[in-house]
Amino acid sequence: MKYPRAILVLRFSSIGDIVQLTSPLKSLRDRFPETRIDVITLDDYAELLLDHPDINRIIHIPREMKYQELKEIGKMLAAKGYDLIIDLHNVIRSQIIRRQFKTTKKVIYIKPRWKRFELIEFKKNNFPDEFSQRWLYHQCLEELLNNDYPVPKAKLVIQKNEQIEIKLFLEKEGLTGSFITLVPGAAWPQKTWLVDHYKELVNLIINKLGLSIVIIGSKNDRICTAIANDKSKQILDLHGKLDIRKSLAIISLGEMTVGSDTGMVHASEALGVPVAMVMGPTNAQTGGGTSLDRSVVIEKDIWCRPCSQNGKRPCYRSQQYCMTEISTSDVHRAIQGVLSL
């Protein structure tokens, strides 16, 4: 195709998916170094992409925008002269906006719904071995990239001044030594490991590894409060108290990150910080998994996995074996392995 002067990329949610979006953005920048690349997303997630070297402008809109408002935003953007629209979400919100670009070339993300249906309902895995969310994004860009570009790792950026500021904050809170960041919550409770196992793990990390714990998450992650309720001086519970940038800064300073298959754990890898991911109802083919060589997934080969794409479906069995079968020692050994590399 003709070398584009300006590209608009659409992806509105959620944290993990927007983190992975930075991989195709890198490929687009390498392919079109002189092109303006803008991204439109929701207000909630725009801060994830601040200072990213492959983005010229971040456009963000409120989650509550209705049809007519989205249509007007689309018309406004259509007047900006974009040569190419890349919709890497393909939901109603993005469809309304992209349809206002009447003659602009469009590349649209195709979701592997049938393959995921086969996987979840019949446990038939027809995904290629190299599958990941980053790989999937790149599939719809094949024509643009001419198959010449490998699938890069995701990347987020934290500035030195952000790290200094959060380090001073942690010191005021009484935490001065090395720590592991704990992200125990998730959007769906089925994706969270057992509270008692987390408590045991925290004690092992403090007493055996000599590291402190910083817990982060949203204000709705009640599991964080339950884990931190022993009031140890080496546990700092900050869930619900930080914005995205401060959470990223904390992750960037930690030795590693431990948690569920959830957005901030994926963000950790995009900051170059390895993770130990406790994965239950989801798997790599539903968009989970890790990418850094030092990272590790702790999971059990239970016949009913995966049971949904995002962990939303409640477990129908007498207990959620994909999580209850993962022991504290399993995760502790994984952490030791990551830290030894």
Q: Name the pLDDT band for 302 (thresholds 50, 70, 90).
A: very high
Joined tokens for residue 112: 């592997």
Name, in order, each residue with C-beta under 8 angstroms of 117's C-beta and a sequence gap of 6 or more: none
Q: Which residue has the tokens 């071995």?
A: 129
Say whether domain 6-145 belongs to CATH 3.40.50.2000: yes
pLDDT score at 232: 76
- Residue 258: φ, ψ to 5°: -125, 135
pLDDT score at 146: 79
pLDDT score at 70: 98
User: How many residues are present in the chain?
Assistant: 341
Q: Are 233 and 257 in contact (CB under 8 A)?
A: no
Joined tokens for residue 200: 């045991």
Angular region, 20: left φ>0, alpha ψ -120 to 50, beta rest: alpha
- Residue 88: φ, ψ to 5°: -100, 25
Q: Is the pLDDT of residue 64 over 80?
A: yes
Kindly list the domain boundaries of the chain, sorted by start residue: 6-145, 160-340
Helices 263-270 and 244-253 sit at what angle, rounded to 10 degrees? 60
Rounded average pLDDT over 125-138: 94
pLDDT score at 1: 65
- Per residue in 34-63, pLDDT tens? 999 999 999 999 999 999 999 999 999 999
CB atoms under 10 Å from CB of 259, counted, come to 27
Joined tokens for residue 113: 């719904």
Q: Is the pTM of this model over 0.75?
A: yes
Q: Is the pLDDT of residue 67 over 80?
A: yes
pLDDT score at 297: 98
- Per residue in 258-270, pLDDT tens? 999 999 999 999 9
Say what percent of the chain tops pLDDT 90: 93
- Per residue in 214-228, pLDDT tens? 999 999 999 999 998
Q: Is the pLDDT of residue 80 over 80?
A: yes
CATH architecture of 160-340: 3-Layer(aba) Sandwich (3.40)
Report the DSSP beta bridge partners of residue 276. Answer: 258, 296
Burial letters 57-93, b for 16+ CB under 10 A, else e: ebbebeeebeeeebeebbeebbeeebbbbbbbbbeeb
Rounded average pLDDT over 170-197: 95
Angle at 290 between CA 228 and CA 272, to 5 degrees: 75
Do the domains spanning 6-145 and 160-340 agree at the CATH topology level?
yes
Rounded average pLDDT over 71-96: 97
